[in-house]
């Protein structure tokens, strides 16, 4: 049976005072009893003990003083039974006594020779972006110089960092050099207005996106290395930053994965394609499979990982498929493992239903090109964040936003997709039948032609 622990320091003092007084009285009484030598002495000793017990029972300890500076409402009996939880909230996580982890570092001397120098210079960038500020999250967004409208939409929605106060969140758009003067002038104008563009002097082309990511790592390492977390995304991605920030705070207060973190939707055993848009020659990469790598829609890391990946990029040959290079080859070089968050992604047909439902905080990333739906879902999300409380997790685990996940799709959407799959199956079956029929007809024609030729040859011999 365990001891009941008093709930206030003053109560502890009272209990200790009573215990000490009782101990002294017991010792005194034992000493007196040891000195007894006659029946009269025994009678006197008993009377003294009776008077002592009466004095102890009549004594009143002073009331516990009130503290006028104490904040918060008084705990009612209902509060005590419920553990002072808000309605619908899970039991708050117990903060484990974890030591603050050491940063993830690499020894560049052990990485081998420099094979990918990428000596690019910064053309545009506000070096004071994070200076002198207690930055909690820094976000970098891959964009192209011509994507003015996409950047404007991000700034209007999840990229409007003032709405996350008191958290200090910083965002910048990472890009290369524009291919024409019109786009370059627009970029320079945006930079003067918003101070959120970082541009290096490599040509911004599809096969140079890996340079874009390395440039972002360089910028974070040099100017925002004191941030707690780093988020990468694209300019056509919807990001539920409210759900992310809640998870980041849980990790930070419990010292869970606050260093050495690379968290993403991780792809495993992906085939190296030898044809199509992502065609890779076997001379360039003879492997059958890519190493495990992240979905480029969004991934999270700590600043020490951004620095380590930047340092490693000099020692790994350039590869133009950026997600594979940045989050597969570079981490593989330094034995950095991924934390998978595969359940936190949603599709464009699911986002409206999910953002307006009770599971709104569990889903974070979505590719979304419909600007009307983008704004609509963001406004819904802001309302949810203002009016609803994200429940605390009973156990803090990196990448675990919730204990359970419901269906991502509403019933009508599941039924619609089932019908679409059935239509595709019927269409494929008809196409196969037509192909067999066509092939049979063609073979029949060829056989008939061969028979005629053979018959003609026989006639000539006769």
Could you give the CA distance from residue 11 to residue 29 in angstroms, rounded to a whole number? 27
Q: Kindly report the CATH number assigned to the domain that includes residue 369.
A: 3.90.550.50
Asked if residue 237 and residue 312 are part of one domain, the reply reads yes
| Opening angle at CA 69, ends 66 and 70, nearest 5 | 70
> Cα 114 vs. chain centroid, distance in angstroms?
32
Q: Which pLDDT tens digits describe the chain residue by residue (462 residues)?
A: 444 444 444 444 454 555 555 555 554 555 444 444 444 554 565 566 556 555 545 554 444 444 444 343 444 444 433 333 333 334 444 445 567 788 999 998 899 999 999 999 999 999 999 998 899 999 999 999 999 999 999 999 999 999 999 999 999 999 999 999 999 999 999 999 999 999 999 999 999 999 999 999 999 999 999 999 999 999 999 999 999 999 999 999 998 889 999 999 999 999 999 888 888 998 999 999 999 999 999 999 999 999 999 999 999 999 999 999 999 999 999 999 999 998 899 988 889 989 999 999 999 999 999 999 999 999 999 999 999 999 998 899 998 888 888 777 667 677 777 788 888 888 888 888 887 777 777 766 677 777 777 767 766 665
Asked if residue 124 and residue 38 are part of one domain, the reply reads no
Angle formed by the axes of helices 371-387 and 241-253, nearest 10°: 40
Could you give the CA distance from residue 347 to residue 352 in angstroms, rounded to a whole number? 10
Angle formed by the axes of helices 371-387 and 148-156, nearest 10°: 20
Asked if residue 131 and residue 27 are part of one domain, the reply reads no
Asked if residue 134 and residue 14 are part of one domain, the reply reads no
Q: How many domains does the chain have?
A: 2
Asked if residue 180 and residue 31 are part of one domain, the reply reads no
In a domain, 172, yes or no: yes
pTM higher than the cut 0.75: no
Asked if residue 128 and residue 53 are part of one domain, the reply reads no
Q: How far is CA 136 from each of CA 162, 163, 231, 302, rounded to the nearest angstrom?
A: 13, 14, 11, 11
Range of the domain at 53: 9-58
**CB burial of residue 2 (10 Å; 0-12, 13-18, 19+):** exposed
Q: Decide which of 341, 363, 387 is a domain's last residue.
A: 387
Asked if residue 282 and residue 202 are part of one domain, the reply reads yes
Residues 6+ away with beta carbon under 8 Å from 269: 289
Asked if residue 119 and residue 53 are part of one domain, the reply reads no
Maximal C-alpha separation, the chain:
160
Asked if residue 17 and residue 143 are part of one domain, the reply reads no
Q: Decide which of 352, 372, 387 is a domain's last residue.
A: 387
Could you give the CA distance from residue 461 to residue 255 in angstroms, rounded to a whole number? 96
In a domain, 74, yes or no: no
Could you give the CA distance from residue 324 to residue 293 in angstroms, rounded to a whole number? 6
Q: Which of 282, 284, 336, 340 is nearest to 308 (CA)?
A: 336
In a domain, 248, yes or no: yes
In a domain, 441, yes or no: no
Contact between 279 and 208 under an 8 Å Cβ cutoff? The reply is: no
Could you give the CA distance from residue 41 to residue 53 in angstroms, rounded to a whole number? 19
Asked if residue 144 and residue 18 are part of one domain, the reply reads no
Could you give the CA distance from residue 217 to residue 106 in angstroms, rounded to a whole number? 15
């Amino acid at each position: 049976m365990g001891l009941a622990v008093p709930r206030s320091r003053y109560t502890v003092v009272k209990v200790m005072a009573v215990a000490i007084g009782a101990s002294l009285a017991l010792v005194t009484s034992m000493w007196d009893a040891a000195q007894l030598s006659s029946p009269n002495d025994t009678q006197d000793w008993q009377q003294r003990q009776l008077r002592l017990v009466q004095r102890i029972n009549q004594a009143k300890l002073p009331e516990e003083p009130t503290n006028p500076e104490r904040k918060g409402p008084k705990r009612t009996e209902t509060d005590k039974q419920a553990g002072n939880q808000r309605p619908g909230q899970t039991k708050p996580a117990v903060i484990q006594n974890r030591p603050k982890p050491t940063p993830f570092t690499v020894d560049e001397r052990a990485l081998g020779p420099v094979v990918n120098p990428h000596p690019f210079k910064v053309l545009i960038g506000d070096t004071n972006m994070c200076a002198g500020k207690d930055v909690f999250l820094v976000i970098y967004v891959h964009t192209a110089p011509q994507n003015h409208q996409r950047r404007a939409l991000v700034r209007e929605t999840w990229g409007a960092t003032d709405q996350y106060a008191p958290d200090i969140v910083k965002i910048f758009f990472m890009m290369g050099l524009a291919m024409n003067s019109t786009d370059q002038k627009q970029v320079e104008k945006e930079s003067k207005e918003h101070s959120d563009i970082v541009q290096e002097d490599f040509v911004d082309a599809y096969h140079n996106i890996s340079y874009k990511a390395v440039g972002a790592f360089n910028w974070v390492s040099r100017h925002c290395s004191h941030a707690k977390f780093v988020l990468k995304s694209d300019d056509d991605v919807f990001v539920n930053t409210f759900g992310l920030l809640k998870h980041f705070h849980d990790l930070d207060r419990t010292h869970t994965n606050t260093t050495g973190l690379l968290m993403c939707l991780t792809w495993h055993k992906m085939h190296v394609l030898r044809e199509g848009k992502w065609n890779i020659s076997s001379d360039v990469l003879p492997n059958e499979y890519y190493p495990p790598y992240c979905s480029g829609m969004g991934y999270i890391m700590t600043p020490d990982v951004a620095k380590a990946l930047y340092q490693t990029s000099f020692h790994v040959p350039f590869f133009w498929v950026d997600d594979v290079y940045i989050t597969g080859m570079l981490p593989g070089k330094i034995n950095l493992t991924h934390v998978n968050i595969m359940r936190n992604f949603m599709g464009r047909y699911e986002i409206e239903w999910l953002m307006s439902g009770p599971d709104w905080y569990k889903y974070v990333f979505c590719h979304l090109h419909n600007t009307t739906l983008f704004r609509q879902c963001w406004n819904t999300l802001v309302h949810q964040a203002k009016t609803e409380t994200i429940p605390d997790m009973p156990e803090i685990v990196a990448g675990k936003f919730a204990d359970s996940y419901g269906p991502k799709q509403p019933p009508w959407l599941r039924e619609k997709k089932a019908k679409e799959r059935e239509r595709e199956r019927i269409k494929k079956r008809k196409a196969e039948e037509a192909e067999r029929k066509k092939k049979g007809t063609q073979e029949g024609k060829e056989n008939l032609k061969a028979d005629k030729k053979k018959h003609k040859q026989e006639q000539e011999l006769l």
